[in-house]
Structure 1
Amino acid sequence: MQGFNVDKNKTLNAALYVLNNLGEADYHKTFKILYFADQNHLKSYGRPITGDAYQAMNFGPVPSFLYDIFKAAEKGSHPFQEAMDMSGLFAVRRDANVPIVTAKQPADVDELSDSEIKLLSASIEENEGLNFEQLVDKSHDDAWTEAAKKPDIEMSYINIAKAAGTSDDMIIYIELNAENDQNIF
């Protein structure tokens, strides 16, 4: 269990916010910017922005829910109707066989807190100039390494926070937040 429920509305608006700021980006850059924003929000505020389940894929963390939506937008079909329903927010084209995604509408920033916008903006600024290999190296942190040992296992939000150097007190707070989040649904 990854610890938090995905907040679908926040995930969509966080992705839209990133893409509104970048103009367009490949999946990889979008996913890594969101990963680092989630990681830093955990470290600073004790909870992620999206709650999406990150998988330790070969080239770094991939948010499962958002990946399904991007794939639905790219292919025009998906086995999960929910992904299809949300895929209209994004356009995907292939450039040299790399999927490039753009937002088809502005993010609803009222759905994002000030701290979330601040850390999304900081992650964009910090990571938009990094190339593919640099993002792979940066995202292959201790949380990714631990999850990559076990195929098809979600990355632990506790390990994601620890990889960012989160204090022990904040780790306890994150554990409590995750437990409370799981009890909501």
Structure 2
Amino acid sequence: MQAFNVDKDKTLNAALFILNQLGEADYHKVFKILYFAEQQHLKNFGQPLTGDAYQAMPFGPVPSFLYDIFKAAENHQSPFSEAIELSKSFAVVRKDKIPYVSALVAADTDQLSETNVEAILKSIKENHHLSFKEITDKSHDTAWAKAEKAVDTEMSYLDIAASAAASEEMLAYILLNAENDNLNVY
């Protein structure tokens, strides 16, 4: 179950920021760069970057809300009106059946904190050059493995932070924040 609420504006602008840095990229690359930025933000600050719910899919973690936005950009329809509205910031084309997305607008960096931008830039630097297989293998961490084996494939933010070797103090902090907000981190 998701421990934090998705910040839709931050999710939009984090994806735009990634694409403004990379140019056109496939969904997979964007999702994994965002995942590793989320992971580092949790490890260092005890809070996710976007709060999006990550699903453990065969090729690694997928942020649910961002996936809905990209699919709406590709298909020009969605059961979620917010996804349709936000999808207008992206263009999607398929090349050999692989969806590639590009930003149509610049990210509103006022929606991202300094620590958000730092985490995203670090993730881009560490992961943009990785092949599909390399970034998939890297994303198949302990948090992914635990969720992938479960009935509900939603990844726990506590597990995501632990897979990044967050300190015991930081894990306790994440748990305390979730309990204070009556959220479930498991």
Same fold (TM over 0.5): yes
1:2 CA drift (Å): 1.8
Determine the structure 2 residue equivalent to 1:149: 149
CA distance in 1, matches of 2:182, 2:27: 28
Q: Secondary structure at the match of 1:150?
A: coil
CA distance in 2, matches of 1:134, 1:177: 34
1:151 CA drift (Å): 3.9
Q: Secondary structure at the match of 1:99?
A: strand
Determine the structure 1 residue equivalent to 2:139: 139
1:77 aligns with 2:89: no
CA spacing shift, 1:180–1:69, aligned 2, 3 Å: farther
Q: Secondary structure at the match of 1:55?
A: strand
1:85 CA drift (Å): 1.3
1:182 CA drift (Å): 5.3
Superposed CA offset, 1:118-176 (max 9, x none):
11000001100001000110000000000000244310000000000011100011112
Determine the structure 2 residue equivalent to 1:175: 175
Asked if 1 retains the 8 angstrom alpha-carbon contact of 2:43 and 2:170, the reply is: yes
CA distance in 2, matches of 1:48, 1:41: 6
Superposed CA offset, 1:43-101 (max 9, x none):
00010100000000000000000000000000111111121111101100001110000
Asked if 1 retains the 8 angstrom alpha-carbon contact of 2:33 and 2:120, the reply is: yes
CA spacing shift, 1:82–1:95, aligned 2, 3 Å: same
1:179 CA drift (Å): 3.5
Asked if 2 retains the 8 angstrom alpha-carbon contact of 1:3 and 1:179, the reply is: no
CA spacing shift, 1:13–1:182, aligned 2, 3 Å: farther
Tell me the TM-score normalized by structure 1. 0.96
Q: Secondary structure at the match of 2:2?
A: coil
Q: Secondary structure at the match of 1:51?
A: coil
CA spacing shift, 1:85–1:181, aligned 2, 3 Å: farther
CA distance in 1, matches of 2:131, 2:67: 20
Report % sequence identity.
Answer: 61
Q: Secondary structure at the match of 1:62?
A: strand
CA distance in 2, matches of 1:177, 1:47: 9
Asked if 2 retains the 8 angstrom alpha-carbon contact of 1:5 and 1:181, the reply is: no
Determine the structure 2 residue equivalent to 1:48: 48
Tell me the TM-score normalized by structure 2. 0.95
Structure 1, gaps ≥5 residues long: none
Determine the structure 2 residue equivalent to 1:106: 106
Q: Match of 2:160, as an amino acid?
A: I
1:180 CA drift (Å): 4.3
Q: Match of 1:74, as an amino acid?
A: E
RMSD: 1.1
Asked if 1 retains the 8 angstrom alpha-carbon contact of 2:57 and 2:153, the reply is: no
Q: Secondary structure at the match of 1:71?
A: helix
Structure 2, gaps ≥5 residues long: none
